[in-house]
């Protein structure tokens, strides 16, 4: 599998093979629906498809490894059938899920909401398999994270944490170019802290790693607008623009076409100063 250049602008499509993700329209639980969702995303311009079998919304139920694997296996299998050339990401914190996926389907990006804290085998597994890895900032678990929002300086603490995780990844043998950092919008952060983090995103980007942002339809948008995730697309578009303007290069989204349009307009706005093609 050839992966895109993570330092150029990419759109990652969210495919939740779950029944309880926070944005209900994004949930796909049978093979036909998953194939349709992936095919639509690729036609719309997604350069990466992110398959998730474990819901990480606040308060989500824990599930067993085998239940997660059944979902991931179905989702990745569907993606390989309908879009064999697209880069795939697997949203998991379990090293065994990564190993099974790579052994059965080949290399994938690993998108880990725990930055290796959820499974002490993860960093060594990623290093051994030689696959790209997204380290995200979160405190606690999806079940407890919203009770862990005490920071003296949220930007500094997130940047320092992710910098240390990236250093540890390299110490374990992961190549620097395979490391992607995610500040974890909505994970153990209040609405106000999320906006502080967005305003300081250039500090994370200044570390020199590719940076992924997942802002799509999150509570930091719909709570401010006093609405629902279903009505948060305009807010998502605005914040995605701000994120790439501050240096992020991967937009993880539910709505692929609007994100692709943002990237095209941003290139025109910046006169295509070093940004890659979708």
Q: Which of 37, 165, 189, 252 is catalytic?
A: 252
The tens digit of pLDDT for each residue in 104-118 reads 999 999 999 999 999
Q: Which of 71, 218, 246, 267 is catalytic?
A: 218
Tell me the CA distances in angstroms from 159 to 37, 119, 209, one per residue in order.
Answer: 34, 21, 11
CB 17 within 8 A of CB 51: yes
Q: Is 122 helix (H, G, I), strand (E, B) or coil?
A: helix
218 is catalytic: yes
Cα–Cα distance, 21 to 39 (Å, whole number): 20
- Residue 111 φ/ψ, nearest 5 degrees: -110, 100
What sign for the dihedral angle of Cα 82, 87, 93, 96?
positive
By percentage, how much of the chain surpasses pLDDT 70?
A: 91
The tens digit of pLDDT for each residue in 55-106 reads 766 655 778 999 999 999 999 999 999 999 999 999 999 999 999 999 999 9
Average pLDDT over residues 152-164: 97
The residue that leads in pLDDT, 20 or 200, is: 200
Q: Is 42 helix (H, G, I), strand (E, B) or coil?
A: helix
The pTM is what? Answer: 0.92
**Rg for the chain (alpha carbons), in Å?**
17
Q: Which residue has the tokens 């003296």?
A: 152
- Residue 202 φ/ψ, nearest 5 degrees: -60, -25
CATH domain 10-269 topology: TIM Barrel (3.20.20)
Task: Kindly write down the DSSP assignment for every residue of 202-266, as one continuous string.
Answer: HHHHTTSSEEEE--TT-HHHHTTTTS-GGG-HHHHHHHHHHHHHTT--EEEES-HHHHHHHHHHH
What sign for the dihedral angle of Cα 2, 266, 275, 184?
negative
Label residues 141-167 b or e (16+ Cβ within 10 Å = b): bbeebbeebebeebbeebbebbeebbe
């Amino acid at each position: 599998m050839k992966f895109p250049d993570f330092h150029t602008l990419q759109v990652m499509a969210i495919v939740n093979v779950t029944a309880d993700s926070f944005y209900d329209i994004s949930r796909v639980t049978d093979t036909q629906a998953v194939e349709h969702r992936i095919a639509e995303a690729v036609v719309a311009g997604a350069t990466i498809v992110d398959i998730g079998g474990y819901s990480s919304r606040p308060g989500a139920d824990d599930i067993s490894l085998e239940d997660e694997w059944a979902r991931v296996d179905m989702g990745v299998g569907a993606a390989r059938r309908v879009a064999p050339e697209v880069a795939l990401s697997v949203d998991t914190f379990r090293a065994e899920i990564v190993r099974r996926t790579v052994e059965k389907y080949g290399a994938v990006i690993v998108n880990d909401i725990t930055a290796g804290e959820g499974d002490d085998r993860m960093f060594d597994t990623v290093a051994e398999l030689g696959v790209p890895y997204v380290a995200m900032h979160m405190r606690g678990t999806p079940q407890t994270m919203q009770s862990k929002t005490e920071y003296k300086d949220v930007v500094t603490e997130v940047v320092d944490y992710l910098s240390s995780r990236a250093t540890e990844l390299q110490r374990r043998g992961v190549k620097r170019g395979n490391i992607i950092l995610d500040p974890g919008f909505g994970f153990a952060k209040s609405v106000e802290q999320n906006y502080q983090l967005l305003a300081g995103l250039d500090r994370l980007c200044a570390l020199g790693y590719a940076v992924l942002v997942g802002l799509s339809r999150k509570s930091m948008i719909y709570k401010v607008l006093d609405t629902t995730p279903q009505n948060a697309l305009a807010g998502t578009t605005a914040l995605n623009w701000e994120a790439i303007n501050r240096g992020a290069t991967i937009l993880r989204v539910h709505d692929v076409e609007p994100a692709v349009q943002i990237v095209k307009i941003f290139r025109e706005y910046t006169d295509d100063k070093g940004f890659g093609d979708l």
